[in-house]
Amino acid sequence: MPRILLLVASLLLGACAARTPVPPVAPALVAALPLTLQIQREQADVRQDWLLVIQQEGPALRWSLLDPLGIPQARQLLEAGQWRNDGLLPPNTEARELFAALLFALARTDALHGYPADSWQQDAEGQRRITPDWSIHYQAPLDFTLGKTGLTYRIRALNLEESD
């Protein structure tokens, strides 16, 4: 029985350590808010399309992930470096990790100092990595691929003015 408890405790600690970090204060972003992004998720040859809206809500950032029909998939508020559920949707751990990685990807280079120094890297071409194992490959500041083992997100800004 003690071995089982030890195993469960180490798994829980490992799960906590594997979270993508967020700074205590939201970094300056490469674009003004509100920001609307098209997200294409691909895993094991299965593709999903989503829409993400990031808005300033006082001191917090509201992240709303919607499917193509406009049905909310996840809503989170980031305030003072802490995530909390927004609304009645159940917790969505994958979306929270995606949002944390996106915050890092969207942060201006001069705002990365808010992240723990040992949690991220940026190479000479401007490509970035952040723990646990996210990599960001930019085509433009609002056109990039965000991925980790077996999972890829293609991120593009959605220009609503083009639809007029």
Is residue 61 a part of any domain in this protein?
yes
What's the Rg (C-alpha) of the chain? 17
Provide the token pair at 40. Answer: 């294409």
Is 50 within 8 Å of 157 (Cβ atoms)?
no
Instruction: Name the pTM for this structure.
Output: 0.86
In this prediction, residue 161 carries a pLDDT of 53
Is residue 74 a part of any domain in this protein?
yes
Is residue 164 a part of any domain in this protein?
no
- The CATH number covering residue 114 comes to 2.50.20
**Mean pLDDT across the chain, nearest whole number?**
89
Q: Using pLDDT thresholds of 50, 70 and 90, give the confidence band for residue 91.
A: confident
Count of the separate structural domains present in the chain: 1
| In the predicted structure, residue 5 carries a pLDDT above the cut 60 | no
- Looking at 13-27, 68-82, 98-112, 142-156, which range is the least confident one? 13-27
What is the residue-wise DSSP string for the chain? -HHHHHHHHHHHHHHHHTSPP--SSPPPBSSPSSEEEEEEEEETTEEEEEEEEEEEETTEEEEEEE-TTS-EEEEEEEETTEEEE-SSPPP-HHHHHHHHHHHHHHB-GGGGGGS-GGGEEE-TTS-EEETTTEEEEEEETTEEEEEETTEEEEEEE--GGGG-
How large is the average pLDDT for residues 109-138? Answer: 95
Provide the token pair at 76. Answer: 């989170």
**Which structural domain range is residue 37 located in?**
2-159
* Cβ-based neighbour number of residue 52 at 10 Å: 22
